[in-house]
Each structure stands twice: as C-alpha cells, then as structure tokens.
Copies of this chain bind each other. A is one copy, B any other.
Amino acid sequence: MNSGAVSSNVSRGDPPNQAQTPARRAVSHSALQRFAAKAFQRAGLNDGDAEIGAEALALTDAWGVHTHGTNLLPDYLRRLRNGGLRVQGKPHVTAEGPAWAKVDGDSALAMVTSAFAMRTAVNKARRCGIAYVGVRNSCHYGAAGVYAWQAAREGLIGLSMANDKPSVAAPGSRGRVMGTNPISYAVPAGRYRSIMLDMSVATAAAAKVWAALARGEKIPNTWLLDADGKPTTDPNDFPKGGALQPAAGHKGYGIALLIETLAGVLSGAAITNAVGGWLLGDLSTPTDHGAAFIAIDVKVMMPMDDFTRRVEGLVDEIHNAPRAEGVERIYLPGEKEWECYDRSMKTGIVLPPDVIEKLERAAELSQLDLAKELG
C-alpha cells in the first residue's frame, strides 16, 4: 500500500523548490492557457471553444496532472487539422427528459463536448436533484476530473467517466479487453477544497509503463501482462500485445464494465474495440468515444450548510486520524492536486521536459513562438 500518498493514475508535478533540470521550467498559468487557446484558434476553433479546451488543459497542468494537460495539445491539434476532430463540430442534445439527456458530440473537441454535457447535467439536476447525460461522438476528453469539478465548483456532486479503446486485460484474458475507462468524482467540501478522485481502472497508467520503457527500467509485476497473459516486469511487452492489469483484479474489471455500460452502451457511442485509437489511429476518422456525466444537486435534498458541515466533519476526522510511523499527513482524494494548484497559481506551473517538448511541437504546428507566448 501507498504509505500516506494519494497518488493518481497519472504523474504528478513536483514542488518548484526542488532541484530543477535546465529544461524544467515554471510558466504562468494564464500564459499557458492563453498559448493553448491561440493554438486551438489557429487550428480553426472559434474563440469560445478554444477557450474551453485551453482552460481544461491548463487546469489539469495546474493540478500537476501533466500526462493529461497541455502535453496532449499537439495531438488534439493534429486531429483538428486532419478532420478526426471537427473544427465546426457542435455538440447538441439529441433526446432528453427532465433528468437525463443524450448528447451527440459531433466529433468536436471532446473538452467542449464534455463541458457542454456536464453543464446540461448540472442544469437538469438543479431541477430534479440528479441527472444523467450520455455522450456519443466524443474523443479523448483529457482529465476526467475537470468535469467532475465543473459540477462541484457550483455546489453539486459531479461524476465523469469515459470509455476508450481496450488496453486493459480482463481476469484470465490474453490481450486487451477493456479500456482504461477513467472515472472521477468531486464533492463540494465547504471550507475545504472539493474532495476529488480521478482514476483509471488499471493498476498503473499506460503513461507509467511508457515512461519505464523510455528509461529502460523494470516495472512491478502487478502492472502489465505480456502477450501470453502472464504478469511481466518488462515494459517492452506492452507494445508487443501486452495488456495493463485491472486494479484489484475483478474489482477494476467490474468497474470498467459499469463505466462501459453508462458511457458506451447507454449513450449510443462505440463500445470497446469499436472505439477508434485517438493517438495512433487514423487522424482523419472520428473515434466515437463515449462518456457519461452525472450531477447531483445537494441543495435540492438537504440544506447546503448541513451538507458542508457534515463533509467538513468527515474531512477533519480523516485529517486527525492516527498515522502510521513516518507518515506526516493523511490526504483526502484530490488534496495533493489542490496543493499543487495553489503552488501553480502562486509561483507558476512547473512543467517537466517532455511537456515542454510537446508545447514546442504545438507551437510549430500553430506557427507561434513558444518563448514569446509563455513570456
């Protein structure tokens, strides 16, 4: 077990006071968001959509979740330029009731579609208490937590989940059966920052396997199965037909299937192997990822003060719980991301070298001068 650390499925930003390699640099959150927005505009998005996409990516970097932030910008730009993401795409409701809706993403940038879908869920939950919105014709939507927090910052409990092309094994399978199927929730917590979990159903993120491969390191035998379905410590087995292991075996697998049902089956999107590969697949063909958003409006069911008092009590109880030897703090889910966020806003976002490289590629694609844009 992780001693005291609530790490996510993705890599984390380090505090800016750590030793920095020359390529590791702090940039201002607003400059980073402005750069991403300009890049999206130059790919053909209107100002509003470009802003939504940029806001999602810069927020994710501010949380320190660099695998899902502006790191992905050049990949989104390439899809926008090749037609696999439609620059003129307009997410819209195709069917709805008081507490549900189905959204066709029209292959727009998935952050635009997802923000629209969660806004729809929030509006419906404000009247009905709870609402579900299923999305089809979406794509990789960045960090699931962005949309869960979109609800929580307005005082609602938010859930966000998506399916993906399979990369995770089922118990007993040889090869990939389920997507990493991210899921996130966020709960408003009064005087504390929102409780927020963002996880994939795999033991470890694919990004961690790729990183070990790049560094020539072994991995724990609980992360990956080789092409024969056997646990392996060699990350090179991943591109050779290996599959990520589901977290906690049948539990991660079972949760993956719930997410596939709500985000893929019920939404009308592509399911498992029918989902297109967004990074390595044909960049001119939409992927038809599915997603699901659920909002629960606390105020409809309970005075908000009562709710926040109860959540604050729960947070206090966990903060004050006895700690194991050597553990300084017990964290709530999301607490480390919020601390990184505060540092990011104060002293800038510390971007690792691989993200800087991706930003340089995004600048090239957009004919922008990165150094000038980031100041």
Q: Mark A residues whose CB is within 8 Å of B.
A: 1-8, 95, 97-100, 102, 128-132, 134, 157, 169-175, 177, 185, 187, 195, 197, 199, 203, 222, 225, 228-231, 245-255, 257-258, 260-262, 265-266, 268, 271-273, 294, 296, 298, 300-302, 307, 310-311, 313-314, 317-318, 321-325, 327, 329-333
Contacts and interface: CB of A to CB of B under 8 A. Distances in A.
A156 B252 CA distance: 22
A245 B251 CA distance: 14
A161 to B, nearest CB: 12
B171 A1 contact: yes
B266 A175 contact: no
| Identical copies in the complex | 2
12 contacts: A1-B245, A4-B172, A8-B250, A100-B128, A100-B130, A132-B296, A170-B318, A172-B323, A174-B324, A257-B332, A266-B296, A272-B317
A314 B129 contact: no
Nearest to A327: B172
A92 B69 CA distance: 47
A173 B323 contact: yes
A274 B228 CA distance: 49
A239 to B, nearest CB: 17
Given A170-B321, A255-B197, A7 B333 contact: no
A322 B157 CA distance: 39
B248 A248 contact: yes
A142 to B, nearest CB: 19
A253 B335 CA distance: 13
Nearest to A229: B324
A298 B100 contact: no
Nearest to A184: B254
Contact of A322 (B2, B174, B197, B327): B174
Among A132, A203, A245, the one with the most B-chain Cβ atoms within 10 Å of its Cβ is A132
Nearest to A157: B261
A271 B324 contact: no
Given A5-B171, A174-B325, A185-B258, 17 more contacts: A1-B225, A1-B231, A3-B171, A95-B301, A97-B129, A130-B294, A171-B331, A187-B258, A197-B251, A197-B258, A228-B324, A229-B322, A229-B327, A230-B324, A257-B332, A260-B314, A266-B307
A301 B261 contact: no
Contacts of A254: 6, 197, 199, 333
A314 B272 contact: yes
Contact of A128 (B98, B258, B271, B331): B98
Given A6-B253, A333-B250, A324 B172 contact: yes
Contacts of A271: 310, 313-314
